[in-house]
Chain A
């Protein structure tokens, strides 16, 4: 494999990794404040993609407008999900929450199957996204540059919110100790709603970018991606936003590079994230950024 092909794979890896990263951030933030694996999060990504399809293919809106609308609706959906299904179960045993999350995930997948049918729809990729640059043999599409850049900007944005704003501080405090935060006069539930809104918004962005890179939209598209994104969050260090992004890039690169070097392993592409997950759990369960969220409950 020559250096050119390698560079090409790096570009692809960056692109894929960014999308995993965007979705992983939502997982890690919700887990951070609620200790809940929101199984429905991957499906929010799917909803984002479908909203994009609806706005662009059906209503023929432009991509930027579509992005704004989809992101807003997804954020609201996330907040709604929390309000209807998770908030009533705040004091319930953890397993009830997890089961409900699975239920919502399944509900979203099947509702979209009912309304949109199981056959994949073709996402209308805007032309300027498909434009190709050739930089000394390495091929970039506008999309493959835009995605990582937007991801990094959003990551910085989230970090800014977390570390430089009042709300962000409340979110971080919530990750440590939810009861104390409530006693401090902060409305824990409102903060949680914000977390859901942010996470879902990012997932929707991820969904739209995914639809641009792989222009086929169907109700189950969020399942595998969501799983890998959660694995990315764990690999990077669950609870850490930076970790989620690092984890996302690692998974993205691994998938692309492995297939490039060993094409015969192509069928196992989807297994890498899982293998990495097991690896991390065995050797460094707190992940790369290493925050131990499970502080002793004594």
Chain B
């Protein structure tokens, strides 16, 4: 049957891509200089975030602004777990850390898993008030949620060291961690998409009422998507904490969510491939456009930097894409769709 053939050809290509990605991770970690590795680490983490953010926003079509909140949760949970008790006692300046905070210690791998699970549980509890009702409240609730997390972080110094944040976080994140988890995340998300769950998510996006009429429990599907996104965003947050070695409430602002939004929109809302391409594109672009924010010296004339100019440009790009190029780079297509087209043309 045709189906079987596509399954196996597909599998070979997929396997090749995965193997290449794994090899590249090893290669990069051992070859490139520190600066480049740092950039690739960042890109890998953002791929994790973008690809999972795409699941609730692009695949399921539920507009959410959740990432900064769950990334923050993941970062703090991980930091608390991997920073040892002595360092914490020394560091926590506003108030002494609570006993149970000191007691929480774990290996990095478990810390990341725990970060994801906590984020997922929080997402689950948010799902009940939000998805139970019709209406577009998810966006506002998640926007507010991000603020609440920041407020909680600042007002509970016995847990988070308040505005001072947590420093001296052990730097475990290297390309094996970030790259490896990125590969896993992409595979997991793709496996979800190419299953009845992904189909149901897309159905909810395309026509929620028709999906219900076909027996899909739309509340359950939205909850699955949202919780999954939160899980991976939490893990990404943990990786970020260990990469930056220093976190504070100011780090997890709406700007982070906005960056991810631009990434998935530019790449193509609803496409995992698009999310990956978008990440590379936007991170490169942000770096490139840094000059707009900084003081420039041009032909002997000194101009003051205009902080915020980068973001003005980016918001204009976002609006522009929405108005004129809504499909972004690849629209809803995934890599395999490009191959399929070629087959049909033959």
**A residues within 8 Å of B by Cβ?**
35, 37, 39, 85, 88-89, 92-96, 98-100, 102-104, 106-107, 110-111, 113-114, 118, 223-224, 227, 230-231, 234, 238, 267-268, 270-271, 273-274, 277-278, 281-282, 285, 293-294, 297-298
Contacts and interface: CB of A to CB of B under 8 A. Distances in A.
A99 B311 CA distance: 15
Given A94-B63, A274-B144, A103 B322 contact: yes
B309 interface: yes
B147 A270 contact: yes
A222 to B, nearest CB: 13
A111 B314 CA distance: 11
A89 B141 contact: no
B27 interface: no
Contacts, number: 121
Contacts of A110: 308-309, 311-312, 315
Contacts of A278: 129, 141
A285 B136 CA distance: 12
Contacts of A39: 139
B258 A102 contact: yes
6 contacts: A98-B63, A99-B322, A106-B314, A110-B311, A111-B308, A274-B147
Nearest to B262: A103
A118 B136 CA distance: 32
Interface in B303-331: 306-309, 311-312, 314-316, 318-319, 322-323, 326
Contacts of B147: 224, 227, 270-271, 274
Given A104-B319, A224-B147, A227-B144, A98 B139 contact: yes
Q: Do most interface residues of chain A lie in helix, strand or loop, or is the interface mixed?
A: helix
Contacts of B316: 103, 107
A266 to B, nearest CB: 9
A17 to B, nearest CB: 18
Interface stretch (B29-37, B82-90, B148-156, B196-204): B148-156
B263 to A, nearest CB: 12
A281 B133 contact: yes
Contacts of A107: 312, 315-316, 319
Contacts of B134: 294
Nearest to B61: A95
B312 A37 contact: no
Contacts of A99: 63, 261, 265, 318, 322
B143 interface: yes
Contact of A100 (B145, B209, B323): B323
B184 interface: no
B293 to A, nearest CB: 10
